[in-house]
Structure 1
Amino acid sequence: MPAATITVFEHQKLKLNQTYKGICFSDSYLKALQKYHGEKGTPFFSLIHNGVQFNEHVGVLQVGTLRIEVLPKVEHTQMDAQGSSEGSWRDLLIDMFKVVQGVEAKSNTNSFSRVKSNSILDLYFMLFLQEVEELLHRGLIKRYRTTEGNQKALKGSLRFAPHLRENLVHKERFFVRYTTYDHQHLLHQILYKTLALIQTLSSNAQLSTSVGAVLLRFPEMETITVTEATFERIPFDRKNNAYQKAIQIARLLLLNYHPDVQQGRHDVLALMFDMNALWEEFIFMTLKKAPQTYSNLRAQHPKPFWKPLQGGRSVGMKPDITYSYNGQTIVLDTKWKNIQSANPSVDDLRQLYVYHEYFDAQRVALVYPGKQDFRNGRYFNFDQSASEKECAVICLDVHPRIRVWQEEIREKIRTYLHN
């Protein structure tokens, strides 16, 4: 049954019994979200009186047959001025994910490029199917595994105690331990479980057809229970390195799926992403496309900053983005919030001052989405005299066409910081 979809934006509220484009946010859906929120809470939304309020995370929450889509939105931008619809913001978010995941590089050579991903959930289903299809094309790896059980022929080693216990009547059987070299191992069991989950959750007809075709080619696996520990015990090496991307997406889907074991009607899948982290990664991948201009580009590159004298863990510094230009170090700190004409927060400015000092940076800048703007400010010394250290504030207008937007971002940062 296709999922009904309610679309909201960051920080928007969903109230009990309100109707959104003909879909009622009923008491059963609210209770399912309240149960998912639990006592420990979740960063995705907050509970309010008879409703929920979403935070800075975007993506999809699927509750039974209801899909809640949370989109980003920055007011007072070019997109906002054009009165862009939900579809425009959805398309922009999907395009940002494609840039971050490197989908465009694969799309021309993969049959799934014909599948239209009209939601973040569909996009990740498509990415997973792409990876599995590539693994099938290469050939799934085999591993040795040890099996015990009754067989009609003697092979391996005979297990005397269980053989005597179970086969006193059935003289034609042997309880043996033997080694098999086949596809039945943890990597494939995880992938198979993810394929089955996608088949259950997908409401996209093209994707449903595609996952069915992949399942026909994929060997049937034993059903396993998957937890965080399941993924932690997977060692990647040269032989299975090609599985990393597929396992990464499988982990994202399986660990964020919460089945309703009591009623079986309101299973919850939470595929939500911190918009600050996505904005940082998007800016990084955008600048990475121009390596000659933005050389030695690094994201979240840690350096030790402080260590207690009596032992214990040291504290590191991890600026969002660093790169070199004409031998100078430039540090960028990205924030997904629209400050409009206001000044940056004191905490943000302090952070950039430390980057200035510690990384011996020639230029530092705060990068926000919003109405196109550039401001340069100077720090003061302790004696209130103006220092030589400056911190720029760059606001980048949001453009509905992703490649045009990326080109504008590269050009604006180059113009503002490389003079």
Structure 2
Amino acid sequence: MKQVTLREYDYLRVGQLGEKEVRGSRLAVAIPQSAFDYLEGLLEQEESKQYSDDHTLFLKRRGKRLFQVQSYVGVLQTPCGTQIEILPKISDATKEGNIQSRKILLRMLRYLKDANFKQGSDAHLHKAPMHLLELFMTYFLQEVNTLVKRGVRSDYVAKEENQAFLKGKLLINQQIRVNAVQQQRFFCAYDEYEPNRPENRLIHTALLKVSKLSQNANNQRLCRELMFVFADVPVSKNIRQDFSKCKSNRAMTHYQHPLEWCRLILNEESTVPSAGRTQTISILFPMEKIFEDYVAAMLRKRLGQEYSVSTQEQRKYLCIDPKKFQLKPDIVIRKGDECWVADTKWKMIDENEAKHGVSQSDMYQLYTYGKKYGDNCKGLFLLYPKNKSFVESIRFKFDGALWLECLPFDCEAKLKSDPVSIKSYLEGCDYI
């Protein structure tokens, strides 16, 4: 299997698979010419568009034969079979660091909104470390296996056939046209109860794709067993149409998670613009969104029920007459009439740099939030991932009683520990 692993903002170049060279503070990782040409085609396709869409390409051109990956994490497979794994820039670019980065990423993904990672387990990371694509396929197979144990649903399928016996309703026009000579046969219309329904067709199609991609023996074995269960179900001939026909009712609730995985595996939800290519796979997520959702989830766990935590709140406007330029702070924490506004920034800052590495535009943004939320706003926070160069909070005073606190958020902390001691700031800061 042709696999390469790199981190956010590393480079991709043409060369012998996996070769690495240092370029500044980043690594340039080599991939085959065929894989590079495929990525170049994606980039040219996106650059040639005259309009914007939901896709923000995870690559940027940094020279004639050099690409830089952006702040997206996950895995991409090219038609030639090369798998490109992109990990967050949390740990060092070593084998042990990559394992740690995968573990942290999977933990954070469980709290990503509209993504199905809540059922995942880290157990296999310790037994046999896998690349992300293999891990994602493991989660999918676990979900389908759970579905099979709860029961594969069947449905009534309308059929019209020329039979040797009368079954259902006799179609007179077809009977006269087809059986004028063979009068012993009957052209009938009837409903048959069988598992050939769109949900099962999609799962069978995804299992077939996983069987061709997986290199793990346990995954291959489980995939064969599950494909045997769906052997009487045909594969999907129109994936998008079958997704539109999927039913959502109480009898089908246990299909929800497997179908979400099917959307990812069959590229119906992808950040890569080649979403219709079923021979490839791309499961990529913006790291800024992962970090924001993870921080919000951890704050809800840490603060308890006395505080409410909302994300992307849309209550305030920069201009009030007319109401224009809506403000959308990442996180708003409320307790009664009081509130605290926080923004998450997926950026490795260095407290020893000028201005401590904090962006001036971020300061303007938080200052605006503080002013627009008025006297009810008791504090402002910028939450950055904790790293070796940023381990203690940094405080800035604006004017009056308005302060801003830059806090290091520990992504490596276990869920039952405190990833950020924000409650102590809410309950003990002198500006409350």
Q: TM-score, normalised by structure 1?
A: 0.80
Partner of 1:374: 393
Partner of 2:71: 56
Greater Cα shift, 332-341 or 249-258: 249-258
Matched residue type, 1:368: Y
Q: Secondary structure at the match of 1:393?
A: strand
* Pairing partner for 1:389 from 391, 399, 402: 402
Unpaired segments ≥5 residues, structure 2: 21-28, 48-55
1:290 Cα offset (Å): 3.1
The 5-angstrom pairing of residues 307-386 of structure 1 reads 317-325=327-335, 328-341=338-351, 342-359=356-373, 360-369=376-385, 370=387, 371-379=390-398, 386=399
**Which structure carries more relative contact order (alpha carbon 8 Å, separation 6+)?**
1
1:66 aligns with 2:72: no
Partner of 1:279: 291
Taking structure 1 as reference, are residues 178 and 378 closer, same or farther at Cα in structure 2, changes over 3 Å only?
Answer: same
Query: Contact (CA 8 Å) 1:5, 1:66: kept in 2 or not?
Result: yes
Query: Contact (CA 8 Å) 1:117, 1:126: kept in 2 or not?
Result: no
Report the count of equivalent residues: 395
| 1:169-224 CA-partner distances (Å, limit 9, x unpaired) | 54443332212233221111111211111111112221111111222233532222
1:413 aligns with 2:422: yes
Greater Cα shift, 180-189 or 56-65: 180-189
1:112 Cα offset (Å): 8.6
Partner of 1:13: 11
1:21 Cα offset (Å): 5.0
Partner of 1:383: none
| 1:256-309 CA-partner distances (Å, limit 9, x unpaired) | 596998xx9xx4311111011111122223233335277323333444748999
State the alpha-carbon separation in 2 of the partners of residues 113 and 26 from structure 1: 28
State the alpha-carbon separation in 2 of the partners of residues 250 and 349 from structure 1: 41
| 1:147-176 CA-partner distances (Å, limit 9, x unpaired) | 223333222222333344444454443332
Matched residue type, 2:397: R
Taking structure 1 as reference, are residues 213 and 84 closer, same or farther at Cα in structure 2, changes over 3 Å only?
Answer: closer
Matched residue type, 1:396: F
- Identity, in percent, stands at 24
Matched residue type, 1:244: Q
Matched residue type, 1:414: K
Partner of 1:179: 191
Q: TM-score, normalised by structure 2?
A: 0.78
State the alpha-carbon separation in 1 of the partners of residues 127 and 117 from structure 2: 13
The 5-angstrom pairing of residues 130-279 of structure 1 reads 130-218=142-230, 220-228=232-240, 230-255=242-267, 256=270, 267-279=279-291
State the alpha-carbon separation in 2 of the partners of residues 104 and 249 from structure 1: 12
Q: Secondary structure at the match of 1:140?
A: coil
Matched residue type, 1:403: K
1:403 aligns with 2:414: yes
Query: Contact (CA 8 Å) 1:377, 1:390: kept in 2 or not?
Result: yes
Q: Secondary structure at the match of 1:188?
A: helix
1:123 Cα offset (Å): 2.4
Unpaired segments ≥5 residues, structure 1: 380-385
| 1:27-60 CA-partner distances (Å, limit 9, x unpaired) | 2121222233342255211244123221110111
Matched residue type, 1:124: F
